[in-house]
Amino acid sequence: MNALASTLQSPRFRRTLPWISGLVLLAGIIAFSIAYFGNTGKKFQIEPTGNRPADVVKTPPTVPVDPKARRVAGEFLVNAMTRKNLEKAWRISDPEYRSSVTHKEWLAGTLPGVTYFPPKYLVGATFKVDESHPRQIYLRVLVIAKPNAPVRSEDFFIGLKAHGTGKNKRWLVNYFVPASGGGIVPNVG
């Protein structure tokens, strides 16, 4: 007797055969149901609920970066990251942005998302415009460390929001987070 015939006639195989057959049957039923019935989801049209036109969200136009916003971003970086003048950093930050800390905590150096950067290792900063609209601007900023400094250059996203209009328009920082998670980039040589 060969091995196949021996396996087919073994008591163990005969006990498991109904289970194997049941699983094959179940798989066949599932495959048939999917093939025959397919997607039973119904397509539907959204019907208007009134006679007024639908609200459409429009992307605000792209505009050049307001020089005042650029200056505020630079002042925030210098004063907040180096902890040079935390009171000034508080004044040029949006109340919603700083709402997670008290004024006292802010002045003690607890700033949301802003890491300390020792001023003696700061060479400067450069930025790239990510988005620029009439009332909101997002910049990607690279803070550059001196070569061979014990700290590394870092990049961040900073957002500015316009408050007021016309001559009373002023920009406040409302967003500041490291780019790409930790935001660490190689030293600039």
User: DSSP letters of 153-169?
Assistant: -EEEEEEEEEES-GGG-
Arithmetic mean of pLDDT, 107-119: 90
Query: Do the beta carbons of residue 160 and residue 136 sit within 8 Å?
Result: yes
pLDDT tens digit string along 82-111?
A: 999 999 999 999 999 999 999 999 999 998
pTM over 0.85, yes/no:
no
Backbone φ, ψ for residue 57 (5° rounding) = -80, 125
The confidence score (pLDDT) of residue 132 equals 93
Arithmetic mean of pLDDT, 174-186: 67
Whether CATH 2.60.40 fits 67-178: no
pLDDT at residue 49 greater than cutoff 80: no
Mean pLDDT, the chain, rounded, equals 85
Arithmetic mean of pLDDT, 167-187: 74
The confidence score (pLDDT) of residue 81 equals 92
Please name every residue paired with 176 in a beta bridge, in sequence order, or none if there are none. 158
pLDDT at residue 123 greater than cutoff 50: yes
